[in-house]
Amino acid sequence: MEPIGSILLSLFWSGWTSLLDYLAAHVLLCLVPAFVIAGYMSSMIPKETITRYLGPKASRWISYPASAIGGFILAVCSCTILPLFAGIWRRGAGLGPAITFLFVGPAINILAITYTGAAIGFDIALSRLILSITFGIVIGLIMAWVFRKEESARSLQMEEAGMFDQKADVKPAVWVVFLLLVAVLIIGTLQVDLLTNVYAQVKLPFNVTQGTRDALNAVNLSLQGFVLILLLVFIGITAWKGFENIFSGFNRWTYTAIGLIAVTILVAAPKEEVGSIIIGINGRLIGEALVLTALGAVVSRSFTKDELSGWIWETWKFVKQIFPLLIVGVFLAGIAKEIIPAAWVQAIAGQNTLMANFVGVLFGVFMYFPTLVEVPVARMFLDLGMARGPLLAYLLSDPELSLQSILVLSGVMGKKKTAVYVSLVAIMSMTAGYLFGLLLAAG
């Protein structure tokens, strides 16, 4: 029998190597820009520009798309969406648009979608995005129709829409910067020849010793990945000193952290070639350099330091809330991957059956994870042999159907509405996963 110390060391090493791979491979070109975009949308795009279109008097051709867009722009997680949903519904939003907002908000969080694409695949990320918007609108329409009599009576009692009558002007530069930030994300993650082709090569002015290569290979790291992890550590230190008290003013740590973020994106962009010595200058690096230059120029000319402080604070708040959970989640997923027999996963959800997709939905209900942590867990199950159909069913249901969310919703809109909502989400997620699996098999 293997000693307990050896077993614990093996589990720790599995979690540790998974964490290093995650930091080196997935964070820099998807999550770092995504955190910045989430903070930007939260601080620069007023909630009133979205929520004012959710009232019961608004056309459904406006209210439902606005609900879906609002969920994306507000960039909230599954725990944050519940009080927002309760607030907008009780202040006059129609049940249908409010339900769409409730479903879409955590499901198409920009952080979740970009991380899903990087860690699991573009097919799952795109399906998750499209199906979440579609399901959100369809479920909202069904709920509004099923409870139309109750909603009609409720709307008569609410003559004032409150927040839905508010207006907020957004200057054009806000949308320009938003598009540039999205471009940073797209250039960093899109796999097309224009971006991946190498147009020049640069040889590093030093040699990597065999001992260093062996040490990096032992933890599945390249020299580029190691440098990126070091940069992340430096970003964390400088951001803590420069962002934590950002409303007291910018300091040298603030500028250093911002510069390191830009440098990190650029370091992550090129392709590492032979022996960790030759760096390929690809279209991704060129594109990121051009967009970051344009972004810096527009931001410096268009926003005050107070506006930038708000942006930095919202971004930093997202990082503090989510990134530690991600680190723990990835580490534990790496350990679980070592513990859980692959044969179990393959037997339960290795085939695309309705039962396997139902199991995926049940897992989303009983094994709730904070925003983004469900992605490394899904990656773990994929590695263990879970079919992509049940995997999609899990990813569609996890942000919506946790036990605590069901209990909160029951208190907000009653047991009957909650039961209908939960049933619709479960049925649609299971069906979508099954059909997705069939399409993959047919293709």
Which pLDDT belongs to residue 176?
93
Q: Which of 95-99, 374-378, 423-427 has the highest mean pLDDT?
A: 423-427
Instruction: Please provide the distance, in angstroms rounded to a whole number, between the alpha carbons at the two ends of the chain.
Output: 46
List, for residues 218-248, the tens digit of each pLDDT value: 777 777 888 888 888 899 999 999 999 999 8
Side-chain-facing half-sphere of 234: CA atoms under 13 Å:
16
More confident residue, 25 or 390: 390
**Strands ordered across the beta sheet of 198-203:** 198-203, 278-282, 271-272
The secondary structure of 66-109 as a DSSP string is: HHHHHHHHHT--HHHHHHHHHHHHHTT--HHHHHHHHHHHHHT-
Distance CA 31, CA 343 (A): 32
* Element containing residue 41 per DSSP (H, E): helix 32-44
| 179: nearest Cα among 32, 49, 345, 41 | 41
Q: How far is CA 174 from CA 38, 66, 135, in A?
A: 13, 18, 30
Is residue 11 exposed (0-12), middle (13-18) or buried (19+ Cβ within 10 Å)?
middle
Q: What is the mean pLDDT of residues 275-283?
A: 75
List, for residues 162-208, the tens digit of each pLDDT value: 544 556 677 888 889 988 988 887 788 777 788 888 888 888 777 77
Q: How far is CA 414 from CA 67, 144, 351, 407, in A?
A: 21, 15, 37, 10
Is residue 159 exposed (0-12), middle (13-18) or buried (19+ Cβ within 10 Å)?
exposed
The torsion defined by the Cα of 423, 427, 430 and 432, in degrees rounded to 10, comes to: -130
Which pLDDT belongs to residue 59?
74
Q: Are 242 and 251 in contact (CB under 8 A)?
A: yes
Cβ neighbours of 275 (radius 10 Å): 11
The token duo for 286 is 């060129």
Q: Show the DSSP H helices in 340-402 as ranges.
A: 342-349, 354-366, 374-384, 388-397
- Residue 98: pLDDT band by 50, 70, 90 thresholds? confident
The answer, yes or no, to whether residue 274 has pLDDT greater than 60, is no
Pairing of strands 198-203, 271-272: unpaired
List, for residues 12-42, the tens digit of each pLDDT value: 777 787 777 777 665 566 778 877 887 887 7
Specify the pTM. 0.69
Lowest mean pLDDT among 241-245, 304-308, 404-408: 404-408
| CB contact set of 197 (below 8 Å; sequence gap of 6+) | 282, 283
List, for residues 338-365, the tens digit of each pLDDT value: 777 767 777 787 788 888 888 888 877 7
Quote the radius of gyration of the chain (alpha carbons, Å).
23
The token duo for 354 is 């309705």
Q: Are 73 and 44 in contact (CB under 8 A)?
A: no
Distance CA 288, CA 438 (A): 38
| 157: nearest Cα among 91, 251, 112 | 91
The token duo for 310 is 């708000």
Cβ neighbours of 180 (radius 10 Å): 17
Q: Is 276 left (phi over 0), alpha (psi -120 to 50) or beta?
A: left
Percent of the chain with pLDDT over 90: 16
